[in-house]
Amino acid sequence: MSEPSLMTSDLDLLAERVERAASLVARLREENRALIRERDELSRRLDEVRDRLQGQDATTLMTELQQLRKEQKEWQGERRDVATRIESLVKKLERLEA
């Protein structure tokens, strides 16, 4: 191979590498912009949550949540009891009607 064709081949390879690098840089810039938008959105949402919880202690909120869960279980138990009583009454009414 002659030296001029070798230089042309090397230049072509270099040009190809530069094009791939430029394409990669463009893609990375777009991904960076998308990540910045996502970060800003998450930061905004975090600020909203902080504003809503302003002045509320996390320990107090957890205690309140546990209390609400306890009440929910109690209500579910009462609901089952009422359902059982209603079923019993319905069966008694069916026997009376028969």
Instruction: Please write the tens of the pLDDT for every residue from 41-98.
Output: 999 999 998 888 887 888 888 999 999 999 999 999 999 999 999 999 999 888 888 7
Same domain, 29 and 41: yes
Cut 0.75: pTM above it: no
Higher confidence at residue 49 or residue 2?
49
Same domain, 46 and 9: yes
Same domain, 50 and 61: no
Same domain, 7 and 47: yes
Same domain, 68 and 93: yes
Same domain, 61 and 13: no
pLDDT reported for residue 89:
92
Same domain, 65 and 97: yes
Question: What is the separation, in whole angstroms, between the first and last Cα of the chain?
Answer: 109
Same domain, 16 and 40: yes
Domain with 41 in it = 1-54
pLDDT confidence band for 6 (50 / 70 / 90): low
pLDDT confidence band for 2 (50 / 70 / 90): low
State how many domains the chain has: 2
> Would the pLDDT of 1 be above 60?
no
